[in-house]
Amino acid sequence: MGWKSAKDRDESVGEIDSMTMSAPTIIKDGHTRIITHLGRLTFQVLGAVAEFEREMLRERVKAGMNQARRVGTHIGRPPRRRLGQAQIEKIGLLRSQGKNVRQLAKEYGASQWMIARLEPAS
């Protein structure tokens, strides 16, 4: 049952009430208000199912991570690239000659930020 306006929603709820049925919930201004014992029960059950599903998902993720660790797969961010002193000096020289930071980052397998923070050779 889709409502086009608040007035339409109120009329629909009124129709349900007039049929001697009680509406378990009323949606008002974007918030759900529980008005009967059936509505409270429904929300409790749905909340329990959602919590159960979150726990099942968490268990599946942990099991997958443990399996990946057993076979030796790295989990998490990739390790930081370390540049040697010779590489740092060479990058500084190339930067002072006007070589592009993006090209240097690709060439050395480092991030653009890492290359940009190195001082160009004087």
How does DSSP assign 11-37, residue by residue? HHHHHHHHTT---SEEEETTEEEE-SH
pLDDT value, residue 82: 82
C-alpha–C-alpha distance, residues 2 and 55, integer Å:
33
pLDDT in tens, 59-93: 999 999 999 999 998 888 877 778 888 998 999 89
If one compares 80 and 96, the residue with the highest pLDDT of the two is 96
Phi, psi of 76 (to 5 degrees): 110, -165
Signed CA dihedral, 38, 41, 47, 51: sign only: negative
Domain ranges of the chain: 6-70, 85-116
pLDDT value, residue 119: 80
